[in-house]
Structure 1
Amino acid sequence: MHEFFAPLPQDFDQLAHAARTKRGGGFGKDPDLRTVGERTYSAFERVAFAPTSTAPRQRDWRHIPYALWLAADRGLHTHTPLTNRYFEVAVPEALASRRPLKWGRGLLHTYLQGFNPENPVFLKLAHTARDFFLDPRVLASLSETEANGLERLITTLDVLDPINGPVHVANDILGMPADKTLAQWQERHALTQGFWLNNFCKQAFLEALQAPEEIRSSIGYVKRMCEWAMHDIGKPTQRLRYPLCRDEFAYSLLSPWFERNPRQDIKNALLSELLRTLGDPRHNHAGWLGVRREAMETASRWLTSRTMDAFFEILRHTEDDIGPYRRRFWEAYFHAGHILEAWIALGEQAVTELQKIDPTGELSYAKILGKIAPNQCVLMLRMGNILFCDWSHQGRLRAIAHNAKQAPKLYQNEYELFQLRFPTTLDFNDGQLDDPGLVHYESKLGGWQDTARHFIAQHLGIQLPLSDLMPTDASD
């Protein structure tokens, strides 16, 4: 429970600004909540937590919520007579005081930050806070302050209902027009950035991830949830808001597509947002830690397809004369489910062409170090236990056991030339040539394609007819 009560930002919500209004009815500046909690606990500890002692000051009673959970086994939550008197006597009496909002501040902060509907003391806190804020005198005080945006949260969205409050907030955010931002929603309700990090908001996020599949299949949902998932977007401090929810997050976005393909615009949006929020699942294992296998495999398959497509687009822009034949050959194996991973290594000109194809720089790649033609590039593909390296522009097709010592490791940022022209016992030419690599001969007649498919059938047991590997129109 410790993380519930780490010191909150000074401007956790605009309740802190309310004291500056002309009417003067507000919550005042936030204290260091951990320090206040410890001080409040000590005040009641000195009187043996007696609920009827007159020694603790009114301020100590007002600050009881901050001291409820200082640690899992330490806090006023273990002293039932004292907390019962706070909930049943002190707070109701505070409604008649001159400035009742001063009491509401501790209730609201602790409710949002310590949100835990499975805890019986928290449920008492929630019930007390709801009754307190729905009292006409408190609502009237809120309407007279800069914090009046909270009124909609408390009444219309009923955030102080621990069961339905997170659901109402989730539905309200998902129902926003696409052109509205979460920052605007936040401003409307007199909140600041700190609101998105509390446990109540985390629960609302989880509720939003449970939306029906037809909603989760929309591009609007994808963009909204990815906006919600990231904190401090575009800043050096950018990070996932709820790291422990990454599995539910990825699964919610990808599960509608486990058995079917999305429209290309939705797939592109999903890949862009997932790369931004979680990284590339093929090599950023920390970003996808704990995510279910089906979600990782779906995203990885899409990224493999995108990597291959980028390679073939580079060939088109750099005028590789057999580019359409390469595309048809490898895409046939991919669509049959046999290509498990793909990575590209690029020469200088090929990098320039990729930047034209992918101006946002979303697609990762490796650079080739060493003396090669600047337009050359390599498509690296893993099928079963074999890694294929297909060199462009009169280069050869090479193969090696993917776990061999000489095999290049996928997803590196750069490769020395010798790493991609490795010694290998896997020979396309049956020892008839000095080089085991396959020259791309007679593409129009299926020459190299037939040799390669027999090699694949021999070593991997994958059988595809030559007709499936030949383009119907080489100009496509």
Structure 2
Amino acid sequence: MAESSTLTPTREVLGRLAAAVKVLRATKLPEAEASAQALVDLGAAGRAPKPPEKSMLDQARSSILAAAQSRAYTQVPAKYLREAPWLLWAVKQPLAGLPGLLDAVVALAMRHGSVRRKLIQAWLLGFDANAPMIEAAGHAIRRLLAETPDARLDAWRNVDRALNLFDARFGPRRVADAILTAQRSVAAILQEVGLDDPVQAGGGYARAVQGEVLMQFATTLPKAHPDEIVARCLAFLAPGGRLRFEEPGAQGAVARGLLAPWLRGGSPPSDATRAEIQAFLLRALGDPRLRPQHWREAGDEATALMRRWLARASLKLFFDLIDDYALDDHWRYREAFWAACLNKGLIEDAWLALGKRVFASARALKDLNGAYARLEGASGDQSVLLMRIGSYVFCDWSHNGKLRAWQADWKNAPHLGARSYSRDDLTGKGLPFPPNAQFGSRGAPDGDGLSHIGSKRSYWQGSAAELIARRTGVRLSPTDWMPR
């Protein structure tokens, strides 16, 4: 009896639970709370809309063009008119110039959130300050933001208030200024203005912002911390390490913009700034001495400046290599002399020819990135420095080699940029070195080269400086060329 009385309540409880389960199974429960689902829907709808398939756009275009003659856009099927924003500034046959079409699209956008978002994305993607109706569309978008209580557009409202994003004339300039100088990261700014989207990253608005970034770079750099400005600029120009726009014209504009602060003189950049920009341009466009075609769109001035920067790097590496391989203790005098020429702006280009052992050195392979030549028929430890000074080529050897010079247009003058040189290529008869009575220099009148003797007395330097002065008009003094 005791066992029976104990089990009875348990059976009753189980029975009630089974009945409850039947009720629950018969009831259709919501998959998520209404508030949570609203957030999911909001996020999905807030994503940047993408253009539809080409076939849909072709059908929409045909329907819109048919209605354009009478401006009867209300006769265009709704499914086609909703896609009209993508056609307003399309790459091929843009329709923004059709009378009344933008007004019809804006009227539709007043009623449909999806059309509002498409209009915003299409405006950013096809942006060109000179495109038909682009400015009017920007004003219309601002009106839509002000007059429609669409929470999904709050991010656009905020960024337009902060940066005038939809002002076709000043928006790109304000965004560029933020990219270069704002406290927020470049990535955060791009996310705010929608240019972090893979499609928009290469769109018209991004291109306009890049033009403004490059234009402002030269004026912004002296006013702030140069290293930070350079880093922010490069982060925008090459997201993920690749140029945002890679066609030749855009590459040339990048080179001109980054070198602009020094194209008209002014204070030279710090070594860190020069190295950062130089390394970036070498990755983006290649070495102008090896790939001149990549620099054609950059212009002569920018290319010449880059060559001078590379000449500086080549000289530095040359003397570093000499420290590793040469036994001549006079090299500090030669380094000081050519550094003086470099600082006077005389050396426009430089190229190295390296002996077998030096050619294979880790330092040469890493620092010159292939921009040097092999020296054949000479000691494996020997190297040659070729320099372009005005319309003349100078050739200096490591170890006990002589200094030689030629007019660049002479047939036996070595050309900078070759991949290999023989000893004969670099020892042909050249210009005579004149005497310099001030230092007792007798020069080298036979054209067979100037020996590096009397370095401490400026003996050979005086003769070399006299040749340079007569040929270029630039005079050097011992204050310039003696080691410090």
Shift of 1:395: 1.8
Cα displacement string for residues 333-381 of structure 1 (whole angstroms, at most 9, x for unaligned residues): 333333332211112333455x44885x356532324242222111101
What is the distance in 2 between the residues matched to 1:262 and 1:249?
Answer: 18
* Structure 1 segment 19-34 matched on structure 2, within 5 A: 21-22=40-41, 25-26=45-46, 30-32=50-52, 34=54
Shift of 1:221: 1.3
Amino acid at match of 1:404: W
Give the alignment partner of residue 317 of structure 2, picking from 310, 314, 319: 310
Structure holding more helix per residue: 2
Aligned residues: 430
Give the alignment partner of residue 428 of structure 2, picking from 409, 412, 423: 423
- Aligned-pair identity (%): 25
CA contact (8 A) 1:346 1:367 kept: yes
Shift of 1:385: 2.5
Q: 1:405 to 1:155 in 2, by over 3 A?
A: same
What is the distance in 1 between the residues matched to 2:38 and 2:370?
Answer: 51
CA contact (8 A) 2:57 2:83 kept: yes
Q: Which residue of 2 aligns with 1:77?
A: 96
What is the distance in 2 between the residues matched to 1:423 and 1:19?
Answer: 83
Q: Which residue of 2 aligns with 1:389?
A: 395
Cα displacement string for residues 183-234 of structure 1 (whole angstroms, at most 9, x for unaligned residues): x544566642322211112222222334385632312111221222225526
Shift of 1:107: 0.5
Local SS of the residue matching 1:380: strand
Local SS of the residue matching 1:394: coil
What is the distance in 2 between the residues matched to 1:58 and 1:107?
Answer: 15
Cα displacement string for residues 19-66 of structure 1 (whole angstroms, at most 9, x for unaligned residues): 993456456862446544322111133446443366421111111122
Give the alignment partner of residue 200 of structure 2, picking from 178, 195, 203: 195
What is the distance in 2 between the residues matched to 1:341 and 1:281?
Answer: 11
Q: Which residue of 2 aligns with 1:262?
A: 269
Shift of 1:314: 1.7
* Structure 1 segment 20-99 matched on structure 2, within 5 A: 21-22=40-41, 25-26=45-46, 30-32=50-52, 34-47=54-67, 49-52=69-72, 55-70=75-90, 74-87=93-106, 89-92=107-110, 94=111
Q: 1:66 to 1:272 in 2, by over 3 A?
A: same
Q: Which residue of 2 aligns with 1:8?
A: none
Q: Which residue of 2 aligns with 1:141?
A: 152
Give the alignment partner of residue 137 of structure 2, picking from 125, 129, 144: 125
Bigger mean CA deviation after superposition, 107-116 or 261-270: 261-270
Q: Which residue of 2 aligns with 1:331?
A: 339
What is the distance in 2 between the residues matched to 1:39 and 1:207?
Answer: 37
Q: Which residue of 2 aligns with 1:215?
A: 220
Cα displacement string for residues 414-453 of structure 1 (whole angstroms, at most 9, x for unaligned residues): 213146334335355434xxx8233333433444334434
Shift of 1:331: 2.4
Amino acid at match of 2:271: Q
Please give the root-mean-square deviation of Cα atoms over the aligned residues, in Å. 3.6
Q: 1:165 to 1:280 in 2, by over 3 A?
A: same
Larger relative contact order, structure 1 or 2 (CA cutoff 8 Å, min sep 6)? 1
* Structure 1 segment 52-451 matched on structure 2, within 5 A: 52=72, 55-70=75-90, 74-87=93-106, 89-92=107-110, 94=111, 100-138=112-150, 140-142=151-153, 152-177=158-183, 180=185, 182=187, 184-187=188-191, 191-211=196-216, 215-217=220-222, 218-230=226-238, 232-233=240-241, 240=245, 244-245=249-250, 249-257=254-262, 258-281=265-288, 284-291=291-298, 293-319=300-326, 320-351=328-359, 355-356=362-363, 359=366, 361=367, 365-412=371-418, 414-418=419-423, 420-427=425-432, 429-431=444-446, 436-451=448-463
Q: 1:386 to 1:27 in 2, by over 3 A?
A: closer
Cα displacement string for residues 115-156 of structure 1 (whole angstroms, at most 9, x for unaligned residues): 133345223322222222444432x1356xxxxx65643554
Q: 1:240 to 1:30 in 2, by over 3 A?
A: closer
Local SS of the residue matching 2:130: coil
* TM-score when normalising by structure 1: 0.77
Local SS of the residue matching 1:378: strand
Amino acid at match of 2:104: R
Local SS of the residue matching 2:400: coil
Shift of 1:315: 1.4
Bigger mean CA deviation after superposition, 396-405 or 168-177: 168-177
Local SS of the residue matching 2:414: coil
Q: 1:150 to 1:300 in 2, by over 3 A?
A: same
Amino acid at match of 1:121: M
Shift of 1:80: 0.8
The answer as to 2:471 corresponding to 1:471 is: no
CA contact (8 A) 2:351 2:385 kept: yes
Structure 2: gaps (5+ residues): 1-36, 434-443
CA contact (8 A) 2:248 2:297 kept: no
Q: Which residue of 1 aligns with 2:34?
A: none
